[in-house]
Amino acid sequence: MRQIVLDTETTGLSAEGGDRIIELGCVELYARKLTGNNLHFYFNPERDSHEDALKVHGISNEFLRDKPKFAQLADEILDYLADAELIIHNAAFDIGFLNKELERVGKKPLKAYVSGVIDTLAMAKEMFPGKRNSLDSLCDRLEVDNSGRTLHGALLDAELLADVYINMTRGQEALLIDAGDAPSNTQTVVVQVNLSQYVLPVLTANAQELAAHEDLLAQLDKSSGGKTVWRQAQAA
């Protein structure tokens, strides 16, 4: 599955009030792996950023003066996002701004071009109820290195969110082997073997394997906030 981790920076907090997108950062995942096929643009928003917004992202109005306008890149952005599943932290905010930009250039809302949206903020609130679930807080909790994040930046934040998402969903990979596109005209032959004549050896794990197993269980337990079945069974 193709997924795009997306983040924006804006001139302020209100898309309906006239605030605009000034930066878009996208990181591509395919089969839960980073591909390096990322997308990153700065835009001339045709207005100045609010003072509070400048303190958050640090992108000056002067820097954006010669950047392209969103309308010039809208088709390229939509081609890149086409049919992908989006992963966004506090998705309503970013989608609201993207929809407003698309509306300005006569395009349909974003949902018409993508396969779906995952909101990692909603996921985090369910996994870690009552805790702070900002991107920085999740990085700290899930041991994602965010030491280079002194200011918000769309591409950097998308890269961090990709790591956070992978950690939050660890253990959800399919446990079955995909047989691939086997020819439909092949005939399956079933051979029955009598195993009663065999004595099957029991292989026990060594100390190193047991330690690695316990370490993996601890990581899964941490990622799920202590909700794993084995911990609940132990508590009972």
> Which candidate in 40, 57, 89, 152 is catalytic?
152
Report CA-CA distances (Å) from 209 to 197, 204, 223. Answer: 30, 9, 21
Give yes or no: 50 in active site. Answer: no
Query: What is the Cα–Cα distance from 17 to 12, expressed in whole angstroms?
Result: 9
Query: What single DSSP character describes residue 220?
Result: H
Tell me the DSSP string of 64-124: HTTSPPHHHHHHHHHHHHTTPEEEETTHHHHHHHHHHHHHHTTPPPGGGTSSEEEEHHHHH
Which residue type does 193 have? V
Spatial CA neighbour of 24 closest among 3, 2, 6: 6
- The residue written with tokens 């909700």 in the block is 227
CA-closest candidate to residue 8, choices 160, 151, 158:
158
Contact 69, 43 (CB under 8 A): yes
Catalytic residues: 152
